[in-house]
Amino acid sequence: MSHQPHNSQRKAKSATEHPTAKHGDVLLTVKEVAELDRCSEKTVRRAIDAGHLKCIRVGPNGRLIRIRKADHAAYRYAHTM
């Protein structure tokens, strides 16, 4: 008989812990990128739609968007020059 830990016993993710991609890349949400860039989430989505900012689509039907930290850095470098 396998014992499942009670909900209060499960290890909770800390707020600073980010999911990672297969290669160990840190993944950011649209909201996190918007906060880092001090812009709206809509602006981040427009950059993705325009092809300026690379993203990964995950989850059911690819609805969730995640941005590799390295791709965000490349976007910021390209758009600050």
pLDDT digits (tens, 9 = 90+) for 38-71: 999 999 999 999 999 999 999 989 999 999 999 9
Distance separating alpha carbons of residues 44 and 79, to the nearest angstrom: 13
Alpha carbons 47 and 3: distance in angstroms, whole number: 47
Measured CA to CA, the distance from residue 5 to residue 8 in angstroms comes to 8
Output the CA–CA distances (angstroms, integers) from residue 30 to 1, 34, 35, in the order listed.
Answer: 42, 6, 9
Q: What is the mean pLDDT of residues 6-30?
A: 62
Q: Which domains does the chain have, with CATH numbers?
A: 21-78 (1.10.10)
Q: Strands 27-28, 56-58: parallel, antiparallel or unpaired by DSSP?
A: unpaired
| 64 DSSP 8-state letter | E
> Model confidence at 25, in pLDDT bands (50, 70, 90)?
confident
Average pLDDT along the chain: 82
